[in-house]
Amino acid sequence: MSALLFGSISTIADTSELQRESFNEAFASHGLDWRWEGEEYRELLRGNGGADRIAAYAAERGQDVDAAAVHATKSELFQQKALAGGLTARPGVLETLRSAKHAGGKVALVTTTSPANVAAVLQATEGIEPADFDLLVDNAQVGESKPDPASYAYALQTLGEQAADAVAVEDNVGGVQAAQAAGVEVLAFPNTNTAGHDFGSARVVDQLATADLPTGLQG
């Protein structure tokens, strides 16, 4: 059997700008005069983990900030925005997901974000349901952030699949590195704010297609 592993919520729906807006609103609500825009934000996304990103940004400026509290506010805002406005699945996501399922393959969402973020995106994205996935991985199950491959190791073990029989879809460099470290073939599927990043040896696509999947997932 084969497995299709979506590596982040932004491989399902491009939430990058919604996340950025939520960060900025969270900063304002906590009395911070920060605004993450354009190239600065794209550079910040080279690292994984929103709370870590906030903490590092504060440290660079010599500011004492409760990064966990700011990030919690950001997550609440993001979830509200996603559910209120709805999300659209990225090009080819629905088709490849259905192809994999029709072929008898397994489909998983292998993230290191919160269960609440995963739930909000799956509820808000038209045409996608939690039941479409054989496994949902989040930071309640795996504490290590990517590029640590722990989330992929957990997914493969839980699904009963071998790395050689799986393909991952990732939208950021850390995610690509995590999949590769786990021995999983990976397609880089950049989002709005990671499109200029260097994904190394990974094949980069701007939309998913059934032809990109292993033959065992082409249903």
**Where along the chain do the CATH 3.40.50.1000 domains lie?**
3-13+87-217
* CATH topology for the 3-13+87-217 domain: Rossmann fold (3.40.50)
pLDDT for 47 equals 77
pLDDT at 135: 99
Residue 161 near residue 2, CB atoms below 8 Å: yes
Beta bridge partners of 3: 106, 166
Q: Which residue has the higher pLDDT, 205 or 49?
A: 205
> Residue 145 carries which DSSP code?
P
pLDDT in tens, 90-101: 999 999 999 999
Q: What is the pTM of this model?
A: 0.95
Residue 174 banded pLDDT, cuts 50, 70, 90: very high
Q: What pLDDT is recorded for position 199?
A: 97
CATH numeric code, 16-85: 1.10.150.240
pLDDT digits (tens, 9 = 90+) for 116-148: 999 999 999 999 999 999 999 999 999 999 999
DSSP E strands: which ranges in the chain? 3-6, 106-110, 135-137, 166-170, 185-188, 203-204
Confidence of residue 197 (pLDDT cuts 50, 70, 90): very high
pLDDT of residue 49: 83
For CATH 1.10.150.240, the residue range(s) in the chain are 16-85
Q: Which pLDDT tens digit goes with each residue over 4-56? A: 999 999 999 999 999 999 999 999 999 999 999 989 999 999 877 889 999 99
Burial class for 201, CB neighbours closer than 10 Å (0-12, 13-18, 19+)? exposed
